[in-house]
């Protein structure tokens, strides 16, 4: 039985179809990456699974139960971190832990907070405010906050796209390690084919909107742990990357506009400001051509 299932899910905003007939099925412990263009429904798809928005039609089923609203069983890591700026790193995570595990003793909750801060290697920054952290550190706090509530499924909504390339690579490795440590089910949304191939078991391209939908999944059969450097020389990696990239580029090529009419330029040439035109008619494109012909 599938762990998470989307059945014929459609969503439109203000009469514009954003997602149309999206079907997806995940087994437990699977890491799936959805790649697609920006602004074509990726984040909408994620808020649907998170329960922050409701689909117009179709249903989303997690472990046999339909999703009707947001909840801590789905850990969402936001693209813009969404840390509360008036709380320190520790307090941000404690807010999540305290509200999800009210039955635990205060000591147990504090230990949980500390454990997850250590997991993302930020113990030294526990008492800092988000604005005192770099982008990469903020995203690690956000990941720690999500892991701390021990969700059944992790939803990563372009978590790394606001970061510089090096930080991004580091965090990809960290996410990979964390996933291999406890094999949570993960849905990653990204615009980077390399990132998808490095992390995921399956890559699913999202077609272009309006009315975007998921294309056929592509299984990534690369051995783990995957090393980003070695991967670059792996023929299978190169083949998959080319295939997915081509598929994505194909979507946009199909809808490229073509100019079928020859445009007529205005019959006038730019003025030469060093030689002001006094009592002289403006230079015409047609006249210039005639001159050239007479010269040849």
Partner 1 sequence: MNSKFQNAALSTALALIGVGLFFLLWLALNRFAPDLPTPTSTWQGARIYIVEPFAYRGEQDQGLLSLTSKSLILVAKGYFIALLIGAPIGFCLGLSKNFTRTFDPIVQVLRPVSPLAWFPLGMVLFLGTGGQALEYGALFTIAVCAMWPTVLNTAVGVRAIPQDYLNVGRVLRLSKTKMLFKIMVPATLPYMFTGFRLSLGIAWLVIVAVEMLTGKVGIGQFIQDAYMNANYGNIIVGILTIGIVGYILDRLMSVVEARFKTA
Q: Based on the shown chain and the rule CB under 8 A, indicate whether residue 50 belongs to the binding site for partner 1.
A: yes
Is 78 one of the binding residues for partner 1 (CB under 8 A)?
Answer: yes
The answer to the question of residue 210 lying near partner 1 (CB under 8 A) is no
Q: Find the shortest distance in angstroms from Cβ 258 to partner 1.
A: 39
For partner 1, which residue of 49, 67, 100, 189 counts as binding (CB under 8 A)?
Answer: 100
Smallest gap from residue 51 Cβ to partner 1 (A): 8
Answer for which of 18, 96, 147, 200 binds partner 1 (CB under 8 A) is 96
Q: Does 135 bind partner 1 (CB under 8 A)?
A: no
Q: Which stretch binds partner 1 (CB under 8 A): 5-13, 79-87, 178-186, 213-221?
A: 79-87
* Binding residue for partner 1, selected from 82, 134, 180, 219, defined by CB under 8 A: 82
How many Cβ atoms are within 10 Å of 113's Cβ, its own excluded? Answer: 24
Among residues 10, 12, 43, 80, the one that binds partner 1 under rule CB under 8 A: 80
Pairing state between β 57-62 and 4-13? antiparallel
Within 262-281, the residues that bind partner 1 by CB under 8 A are: none
Number of residues that bind partner 1 (CB under 8 A): 22
Structure tokens at 138: 């903020």
Binding part of the chain for partner 1, among 19-27, 76-84, 110-118, 280-288 by CB under 8 A, reads: 76-84
DSSP string, the chain: --SEEEEEEEEEETTEEEEEEEEEEE-TT-EEEEE--TTSSHHHHHHHHHTSS--SEEEEEETTEE--S--TTEEEEPTT----TTS-HHHHHHHHHHHH-TTS-HHHHHHHHHHHHHHTT-GGGTT--GGGS-HHHHHHHHHHHHHHT--SEEEEESTTTTS-HHHHHHHHHHHHHHHHHH--EEEEEES-HHHHHHH-SEEEEBPPSSSB-B---EE----SSPPHHHHTT-HHHHHHHHHHHHHHHHHHHHT-----SPPPPPS-----TTS--SS-PPPPHHHHHHHHHHH-
Q: Which of 137, 149, 187, 220 binds partner 1 (CB under 8 A)?
A: 149
Minimum distance from CB of 142 to partner 1 (Å)?
A: 10
Q: How far is the CB of 152 from partner 1 (least distance, A)?
A: 13
Select 63 or 91, whichever has its Cβ closest to partner 1.
91
Distance CA 53, CA 76 (A): 13
Rounded distance, CA 280 to CA 166, Å? Answer: 61
Q: Does 196 bind partner 1 (CB under 8 A)?
A: no
Q: Does 76 bind partner 1 (CB under 8 A)?
A: yes
Taking the complex as a whole, the smallest distance from the CB of residue 193 to partner 1 amounts, in Å, to 27
Q: Which of residues 29-48 bind partner 1 (CB under 8 A)?
A: none
Chain residues that interact with partner 1, rule: CB under 8 A: 50, 52, 69-72, 74-76, 78, 80, 82, 84-86, 95-96, 99-100, 130-131, 149
């Amino acid at each position: 039985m599938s762990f998470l299932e989307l059945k014929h899910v459609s969503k439109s905003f203000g009469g514009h179809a954003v997602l149309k007939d999206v079907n997806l099925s995940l087994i437990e412990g699977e890491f799936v990456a959805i790649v697609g263009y920006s602004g074509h429904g990726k984040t909408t798809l994620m808020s649907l699974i998170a329960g922050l928005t409701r689909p117009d039609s179709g249903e989303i089923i997690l472990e046999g139960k339909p999703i009707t609203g947001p909840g801590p069983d789905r850990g969402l890591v936001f693209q813009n971190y969404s840390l509360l700026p008036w709380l320190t790193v520790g307090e941000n995570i404690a807010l999540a832990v305290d509200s999800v595990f009210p039955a635990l003793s205060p000591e147990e909750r504090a230990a949980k907070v500390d454990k997850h801060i250590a997991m993302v290697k930020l113990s030294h920054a526990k008492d800092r405010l988000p604005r005192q952290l770099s982008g990469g550190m903020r995203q690690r706090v956000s990941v720690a906050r999500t892991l701390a509530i021990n969700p059944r499924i992790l939803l990563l909504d372009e978590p790394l796209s606001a970061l510089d390339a090096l930080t991004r690579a580091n965090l990809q490795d960290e996410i990979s390690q964390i996933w291999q440590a406890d094999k949570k089910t993960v849905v990653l949304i990204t615009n980077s084919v390399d990132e998808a191939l490095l992390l995921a078991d399956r890559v699913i391209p999202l077609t272009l909107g309006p009315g975007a939908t998921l294309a056929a999944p592509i299984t990534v059969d690369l051995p783990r742990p995957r090393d980003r450097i070695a991967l670059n020389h792996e023929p299978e990696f190169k083949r998959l990357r080319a295939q997915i990239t081509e598929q994505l580029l194909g979507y946009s090529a199909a809808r490229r506009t073509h100019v079928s009419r020859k445009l007529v330029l205005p019959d006038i040439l730019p003025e030469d400001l060093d030689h002001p035109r006094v009592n002289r008619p403006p230079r015409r494109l047609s006249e210039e051509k005639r001159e050239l012909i007479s010269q040849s």
